[in-house]
Structure 1
Amino acid sequence: MKNPWEEIPLSDYENHMKLDSVMQLQAMNEMMKGQFSAYPISSVIILGIAGGNGLEHIQKDKFERVYGVDINSSYLEEVVQRYPELDGLLECLCINLIEETDKLPKADMVIANLLIEYIGYECFQKAVRQVNPKYVSCIIQINMEDNWVSDSPYLHVFDELDQVHHQMEEHALEKAMLEIGYHAIGTLERMLPNGKKLVQIDFER
């Protein structure tokens, strides 16, 4: 069975995410600026990079290597087109995290924003173990209401995601990370429209 993320057009995903009623693209962009600058690292791997939102905040004099990972190869092609200034620094890898964790390279830090929802805690633990970073920064979506996809003209593009979606819970993520030797060192919350919030939790080994 194909992963639903391989079928969703990037334009539909991004147009949905940046609607005034959703505001996730904008909120995550701001949060990623902080993620990139928070710790003394020279390499970072972004799991579920989609169209590369936030990459404009990469400080080229700070990083030696930036990896962008996604299951959708057309998303990665778009990232390369959008950020030619990162040529030689950014390496895009088309990897199915559920089946191909062993293909992930090592890096000082893992960034996983709105990703764990689609692979589950156990798979995320495997990915982190493989990369073996000192720092992990995750953004998860907490739904204060029942529907986890905000209403929008693009709603039905996401219908198939129900097959792979996991409801997120802050303490469950912290527990899963502690099991593999990472303790939480900081939390940041960002309220969104439609009864949702983004929660960033950073971990250190």
Structure 2
Amino acid sequence: MNSPWLNVPLADYEGHMALPGIEQAQLLSDIFSSALAQFSPRSVAVIGCAGGNGFDRIPPAISRVVGVDLNPRFVAETEARFKDKISNLELMVGDIQSHEVAFAPVDLIFLGLVLEYVNVESVIPRMPSMLTASGHMVTVLQLPTVGDQQVSPSPFTSVQPLGEVIHLVPPVRLQSSAEAQGFVQLESRNVVSKGGKQFQVQVFAMPPNPAVNTDAAR
């Protein structure tokens, strides 16, 4: 695979995401932490884990953490940072669009600013098999901002080629794709970064199975 993501040093990516006026790393960490507090999952998967942004906010009660990223250097750094802090850490290198990347079901899947770089209609159908029956999928999409580039200018020039492959995903398109797989959208809210860019946070779940009518079986 010849993806520009493979050419971005982690230090450049993290430096770019943390720049004053961008500050998207903190935004994603906050959204992730909020989802953990809201749903209290026992297991979680972060697709596009980069260097483990937000992993420091995972509580000890979570017994299993899965991290997936396309860039092997990102995954190696995540392992170095968290292998001694998270007891059951599963890390894998690969493209979430590929069936070669799969993991046992978790209670929460987090996709923060990932769907802009993949085919949504290829990725979302794979999510139900990797989610427990009562689990949740939390996504963060970048929204169009009038007058702004999709990838903000910064001194970290290695991230600029990402602007050639990013494709913003309308929240309604994501909702439609998720609902086609049986998901129900529980929440959709707009958030604004300190840099002024807008993002949409959406929460999905599978509907509960109909209760068995035990009286009818008697």
TM-score w.r.t. structure 1 length? 0.90
Paired position in structure 1 for 2:151: 149
Opposite residue 18 of structure 1, the aligned amino acid is A
- Alpha-carbon distance in 1 for matches of 2:194, 2:34: 22
Percent same amino acid among aligned pairs? 25
Match of 2:209 in 1: none
In structure 2, what is the equivalent of residue 203 of structure 1?
Answer: 204
CA apart distance, 1:80: 1.7
Does the CA contact (< 8 Å) of 1:119 and 1:164 recur in 2? no
Give the structure 2 partner of residue 192 of structure 1: 193
Instruction: Tell which structure's C-alpha radius of gyration is larger.
Output: 2
Measured after TM superposition, the shift of residue 180 of structure 1 is 0.5
**Could you give the per-residue CA deviations for residues 98-140 of structure 1, whole angstroms, max 9, x where no partner exists?**
2335533321221100101111211221331331342100111
Q: How much does 1:162 deviate?
A: 4.2
Alignment of 1:97-112 (within 5 A): 97-100=96-99, 102-112=101-111
Give the match for residue 26 of structure 2.
Answer: 26
Structure 1 stretches of at least 4 aligned residues deviating more than 4 Å after TM superposition:
none
CA contact (8 A) 1:101 1:130 kept: no
The answer to whether the 8 Å contact 2:125/2:178 transfers is no
User: Mean alpha-carbon deviation: is it higher for 76-85 or for 88-97?
Assistant: 76-85
The amino acid across from 1:7 in the alignment is N
The equivalences for 1:5-20 within 5 A come to: 5-20=5-20
Q: Take 2:28 and 2:36, find their aligned partners in 1: how far apart are those partners?
A: 12
- Partner of 2:143, secondary structure, is strand
Worse-superposed segment, 178-187 or 79-88 = 79-88
Asked if 2 retains the 8 angstrom alpha-carbon contact of 1:143 and 1:195, the reply is no
State how 1:96-175 maps to structure 2 within 5 Å: 96-100=95-99, 102-133=101-132, 134-145=135-146, 147-154=149-156, 156-175=157-176
Structure-2 separation of matches of 1:193 and 1:44: 27
Q: Secondary structure at the match of 2:39?
A: coil
- What is aligned with 1:81? 80
| 8 Å CA contact retained: 2:102, 2:130 | no
User: Which residue is equivalent to 2:212?
Assistant: none
Alpha carbons 1:46, 1:69 under 8 Å: kept = yes
Q: What's the CA shift for 1:191?
A: 1.0
Quick one: structure 1 residues 3 and 105, their matched pair in 2 at CA, closer, same or farther if it must change by over 3 Å? Answer: farther
SS at match of 1:68: strand
Distance 2:180 2:21 in 1: 37
CA distance 1:30–1:193, change in 2 (3 Å): closer
- Contact conserved, 1:42 with 1:64, CA < 8 A, in 2? yes
Q: Give the distance between the partners of 2:185 and 2:194, measured in 1 at CA.
A: 27
- Worse-superposed segment, 133-142 or 161-170: 161-170
CA contact (8 A) 1:101 1:126 kept: no
Structure 2: runs of 5+ lacking an equivalent: 207-218
TM-score (norm 2): 0.85
How many pairs align? 203
Is contact 2:95-2:101 (8 Å) kept?
no
Q: Which of 16-25 and 193-202 deviates more?
A: 193-202
Task: Report 1:32-51 matches (<5 A).
Answer: 32-51=32-51
